[in-house]
Structure 1
Amino acid sequence: MYPLIYAHRGASGHAPENTMAAFRLAVQEGAGGIELDVQLSADKQVVVIHDETLDRTTDGTGAVGSRTWEELCRLDASFGQEVYRGEGIPLLSQVLELLAPTQLELNIELKNGIVPYDGMEEAVVRLVRQYGMEKRIVLSSFNHYSIARLAGMAPDMETAVLYSEGLYRPWEYAAFVGARSLHPHYLAVTPEIVMNARMAGVKVRPWTVNSDDDYRRMAAAGVDAVITNYPGRFKAMQKA
């Protein structure tokens, strides 16, 4: 059984990360899921962007949370790629609308570890319910207090513990915070962790798996999914 392919920030190896272009490309390339990042605008709109500031991924500057949606939607997020000129910061609702008619899963990472956005969990859960995506959603965060809140607030939605280094008996920790899956950095994954997680009913989806060798190692370990910038390449490997 091959691992499911999640497109990291969309098909971000070929299109600007966290844009509708990257998400549409991921769908076209046959990804089984999409991973994206969300934050809150100054007027509490759930926007799709990774960094807490605008400087790296857009032609704007300053904190995401200091701008209203009207201000954010005017920015260019094409990374200077002429073919994608005009691609902007999407709303989470736009991505949910794109994916609702499909069978794809959606991993929403709440970027609330550095900026503790008030009301973010409630806003995300409300949107997921609005689009009837409860059964195809994974809510993740490096802020594990947020994961525990989400698990209590929306027990029908899957939550995932994000982490980047060695976590002792992570399948037990997942249960402690109410999560049903683990999203570790791929270097923190071992076959033993995957085996014990599976026995505990906990899924494992490592990030960000971009090389062929790392994909093969994760597949051999038996992970449930890999999160990658290159979904099309790994789908082609699976078909071959």
Structure 2
Amino acid sequence: MTLIYGHRGAKGEAPENTLASFQTCLDHGVRRCELDLHLSRDGELMVIHDPTLKRTTGHRGKVVEHDAADLVRYDARTCGPEWRTPCPIPRLSELFEQCDFEHWQLEVKSASKVRAARMAKGIAELAKHHGLTDRISVTSSSREVLRAMQNLHPEISRGLVAEHAWLDPLKVAQHYGCDLLALDWTLCSPERLSKAQKAGLHVSVWTVNDAALMRRLADFGVDSLITDFPGRAVATLWR
């Protein structure tokens, strides 16, 4: 059976990367999620996709220019589906405490060597504290992030996020000891999928919102798909 991951919770159904979005995902019976992380100015892991605040909150500046105590007061409903109640930017620790997911794909965007190391340490400490070390995969398209995870916390699963085929995604994933390949669905040919799976990689394709495409990729044999509409995916693939 093809597994389903909610993209930023349930991005197509609720404000992305908010507690409301992740709860919507869980309400559909989907207990796997993908989310994005950035560091606050005071070093806390915040769940937000963009490095800047404008698109989702309307505030100016970068995430890293604001302390966590301020970020959690910003309403992240500016972009996406309408929602009646405020949806603050959550800390990762808050989601770990409140959401019972079986598995988390934690995507870390590009980062400097120092920042990548800080994020690797922060994720590892939080995961250990909440007993989730074996239920997370840290994913990234950044070689710096994957290298930091591999060198500093090899006990945590790693995944390459591959959007372009100018470098062989399989070779890059293997180089950093990944066991997950998060593949743009346009790159997911039956040949590439088979080769990756034979190499021991879990292949997760993104972002898949069309029901016919969901069925086609499931027929290919992808291990999981990441979708903005987990409810639609459940109706398409599990019923």
The TM-score, its normalising length taken from structure 2, stands at: 0.93
Letter in 2 for 1:138: S
In structure 2, the CA distance between the partners of 1:28 and 1:115, relative to structure 1 (3 Å rule), is farther
- Aligned twin of 1:170: 169
Q: Residue 97 in 1 paired to residue 88 in 2?
A: no
Relative to structure 1, is the Cα distance of residues 217 and 113 closer, same or farther in structure 2, using a 3 angstrom cutoff? farther
**What does 1:194-233 align with in structure 2 at a 5 Å threshold?**
194-233=193-232
- Give the drift of 1:112: 2.9
One-letter code of the match for 1:11? A
SS of 1:218 mapped into structure 2:
helix
Deviation digits for residues 125-154 of structure 1 (CA, Å, limit 9, x no counterpart):
111111111111011011122112212322
Q: 1:13 to 1:162 in 2, by over 3 A?
A: same
Deviation of the 1:123 alpha carbon: 0.9
Show the counterpart of 1:62. 61
What does 1:154-165 align with in structure 2 at a 5 Å threshold? Answer: 154-165=153-164
Kindly provide the amino acid, as one letter, of the partner of residue 83 in structure 1: W
Q: Is the 8 A contact 1:10 1:34 kept in 2?
A: yes
Normalising to structure 1: TM-score of the pair? 0.92
| 1:106 equivalenced with 2:104 (yes/no) | yes
Q: Does 1:192 find its partner at 2:191?
A: yes
Distance in 1 between residues matched to 2:115 and 2:71, nearest whole Å: 17
SS at match of 1:126: helix
Q: Whole-Å Cα distance in 1 between the matches of residues 111 and 212 of structure 2?
A: 31
CA contact (8 A) 2:120 2:153 kept: no
Q: Would the aligned equivalents of 2:5 and 2:30 in 1 still touch at CA under 8 Å?
A: yes
Q: Secondary structure at the match of 1:74?
A: coil
Aligned residue number for residue 31 of structure 2? 32
Render the CA deviation track for 1:39-86: whole Å, top value 9, x for unaligned: 001000110000010000013111110001122122111227663431
Could you list the per-position Cα deviations for residues 182-227 of structure 1 after superposition, in whole angstroms to 9, with x for gaps in the alignment? 1111101111111111111111101101111221221111111100
Structure 1 residues 129 and 167: CA distance shift in structure 2, 3 A: farther
**Closer/same/farther in 2, CA of residues 152 and 219 from structure 1, 3 Å limit:** same
1:126 aligned partner:
125
Q: Does the 8 Å contact 1:4/1:32 carry over to 2?
A: no
**Alignment match, 2:178:** 179
**Alpha carbons of 1:145 and 1:39: their partners in 2 closer, same or farther (altered >3 Å)?**
same
Q: Does the C-alpha gap of structure 1 residues 116 and 229 become closer, same or farther in structure 2, counting only changes over 3 Å?
A: farther
Q: What one-letter code is carried by the residue in structure 2 that aligns with 1:57?
A: T
Number of aligned pairs? 237
CA-atom RMSD in angstroms: 1.9
For residue 86 of structure 1, what is the aligned residue in structure 2?
86
Gap regions ≥5 residues in structure 1? none
CA–CA separation in structure 1 for the residues paired with 2:29 and 2:71: 30
Cα offset, 1:169, TM superposition: 4.3
- Residues 146-197 of structure 1 show CA distances to partners (whole Å, capped at 9, x for unaligned) of 1122123222221100111225543332111111111111101111111111
Q: 1 CA distance for matches of 2:97 and 2:102?
A: 12
